[in-house]
Amino acid sequence: MEEKKEPRMVNGVNIEQLFGTLDLIKQNPEVAKFKFRATNKWINGTHCQATVRDFYGALKEDTSRQPAVFHMDEPPVLLGNSQGTNPVEYLLVALSGCLTTSLVAHASAKGVKIRSVESRYEGDIDLQGFLGLSEDVPVGYQDIRVYFKIDADASDPEKEDMVRMAQKYSPVFNTITKSAPVSVHLES
């Protein structure tokens, strides 16, 4: 009788696929090159709508997902009608997902069993920057604080290490803390 091999799952992460992907990339680093995309359409006032669908990665275009639409708006105190979460809050959402996924993926690769991961995020913005009232005030976030609570088969030092790995390997965390070049073009 043939034995059917089940994928080894740790915390819902397919470890066989993870290490298989690592081997593929070691053989051909081009496999690791991804292009992520979004489009945006202004609606009215501070209300706009972004759409995410396709991406490029693992040597091919992926158009398998349905379009995901995100509404963004400001609250009334910032001239909007709260018809969506605002863009600087979406940045915290992105950071939260990326740190969490990085933490879980790297802990799972080490075989650490996780029961729960919760985190909260708070960032300071001084709108004097956005409004052009001061050249001395940063326009972007001045400081972002993150607090993790982890329930896992791990000691406190091991949990501290999980939080360090999350920061070391999270693409959004590294984009924010180390910066990335953004070129903006006008098309006719």
Q: Which of residues 48-87 bind a copy of itself (CB under 8 A)?
A: 48, 50, 52, 55, 57-58, 62, 64-65, 68, 70, 72, 74-79, 82, 84-87
Please report whether residue 107 would count as binding a copy of itself according to CB under 8 A.
no
12 contributes a contact to a copy of itself by CB under 8 A: yes
How many residues comprise the chain? 188
- Closer Cβ to a copy of itself, 1 or 180, answer by number: 180
Angle formed by the axes of helices 15-27 and 87-109, to 10°? 90
Nearer to a copy of itself among residue 2 and residue 120 (C-beta): 120
Using CB under 8 A as the binding rule, the residues of this chain from 24 to 43 that contact a copy of itself are 25-26, 29, 32-42
Burial 6-37 (b: 16+ CB within 10 A, else e): eeeebbebebeeeeeeeeeeeeeeeeeeeeee
Task: Kindly state the smallest distance separating residue 7's Cβ from a copy of itself, in Å.
Answer: 11
Nearest-angstrom CA–CA distance, 108 and 97: 16
